[in-house]
Amino acid sequence: MTKSATAFADELPPITPKEHHNYVAFFLTLACNLHCNYCLNLHQNAKRSDQRAKRMLSAEDWITAANRLVLRDDLPLTLQGGEPTLHQGFYRLVNEAREEIKMDLMTNMMFDVDAFIKKVPVGRFTRNAPYAAIRVSYHPGQNDIDDLIRKTLKMQDAGFRVGLYGIEHPDPEIRKHILEIQEKCRKLELDFRTKEFLGNYKGKLYGTFKFQDCVDGEKTKHCECRTSEILVDPAGHVYKCHSDLYKGRSPIAHILDAGFSQETIEEYRPCDHFGHCNPCDVKVKTNRFQVFGHTSVVIRNIQDNFSVPTKRHPTP
C-alpha cells in the first residue's frame, strides 16, 4: 500500500513563510489555451513550446508539497500558470490538500464552470481579503467577455467570490474597450479591475519599475537579488524570481527537498541577468494587503559585468 500525500508531508519539515514573505505560488503548468502576444511568461523570447515540454509534478506530489505549508490567514497558496486548471491533477489538489490551506486561483476561466462548481469546495477559495480569491484575466480577442460574465455570475451564485481583470493596453482602441467593459461590469455589480500594461509595445517600454534599466535594458549587468516570494515551477523547482522560473534557469531548491524551508529564500543570490528582468519581479505594485509600493524582489550591488583577467605569473 502506498503512503498518502499527507503521510509523506509529515516526513518533511514544515515550510512556514515569514511575515514579510508576500506570496506563495504553485505554477501547476505553464501551458495555456490562450495566445496573448504580451504574455509575461514569454518575456525576453521565452518559448511556450519549451515550457510545455517540462516535466510536471503529479497531483500526489503537489498535494504533498501543499501539505508542508503552514500559512497565515493573510497568505494563501496561489495556483497559477499558464492556465492551472489544465493540470490533470487540479481537482485532486484542491480537494485533498489539508483543509486549512486557503487557496487563490489565477485563471482565464476557459474551464467548464459547472464541473468546477460540482468538484470544488467553496471553502477552499474563501477567505477575508481585499480582492477576490478567484481572479480571472480577460484578454480581448482571446477569451469572450460575455462568456466570462455569464460564468462569473454562475460562480457567484454558487458561493465563489470572483474578480475580473483587464490590461490597460497602450493601444487606444483596446484600452477604450477595457474601460467600457469595466463600466458594463460595474452596472452588473461585478468586480472588474485593471492592471498596468507591462513590457514593450511599438518600441516603447511600459510599466512602473523600481530599478532603472532593469527591463529591456541596453546593458546586461551583475547584481545580488533576494525574493519575498516562494515560486514553484511545474516540476517542483523553486526559483528566486519569475525570470528564472520562466526560463528554467538556476533553481535554488525543490519543493519536496527536506532541506528547503522559509530560510532558503532569505539569501541574496548573485545574478548576471540584470537588465533583462521579468516585469513581474521588478514592477512597483500592491502587496497582499493592497498597499502600493511593493516589489517581488530586492536588488542590490548592481554593477557592470566584467571578465576577471587571468592571473599571470611574473616572467623569471
| Residue pLDDT, tens place only, 140-194 | 999 999 999 999 999 999 999 999 999 999 999 999 999 999 999 999 999 999 9
Measured between alpha carbons, how far is 152 from 154 in angstroms, rounded to an integer?
5
Give yes or no for a contact between 173 and 145, defined as CB atoms under 8 angstroms apart. no
Name the band, by pLDDT with cuts 50, 70 and 90, for residue 272. very high
In this structure, of 15-29, 181-195, 295-309, the range with the lowest mean pLDDT score is 295-309
Beta bridge partners of 222: 303
Q: Which pLDDT tens digit goes with each residue over 95-139?
A: 999 999 999 999 999 999 999 999 999 999 999 999 999 999 999
Measured between alpha carbons, how far is 136 from 156 in angstroms, rounded to an integer?
13
Q: For the chain, first and last CA: distance in Å?
A: 72
Q: Which amino acid is at 279?
A: P
The conformational region for residue 132 under phi > 0 = left, psi -120 to 50 = alpha, else beta, is beta
Mean per-residue pLDDT over the chain, rounded:
90
Q: Which amino acid is at 84?
A: P
Give yes or no for a contact between 287 and 294, defined as CB atoms under 8 angstroms apart. yes
What is residue 290's predicted lDDT score, i.e. its pLDDT?
A: 80
Name the band, by pLDDT with cuts 50, 70 and 90, for residue 308. very low
Query: pTM for the full model?
Result: 0.90
Q: Is the pLDDT of residue 312 over 80?
A: no
What is residue 297's predicted lDDT score, i.e. its pLDDT?
A: 96
What is residue 307's predicted lDDT score, i.e. its pLDDT?
A: 46
Q: Is the pLDDT of residue 288 over 80?
A: yes
Grid cell for residue 33: 489555451
Name the band, by pLDDT with cuts 50, 70 and 90, for residue 47. low
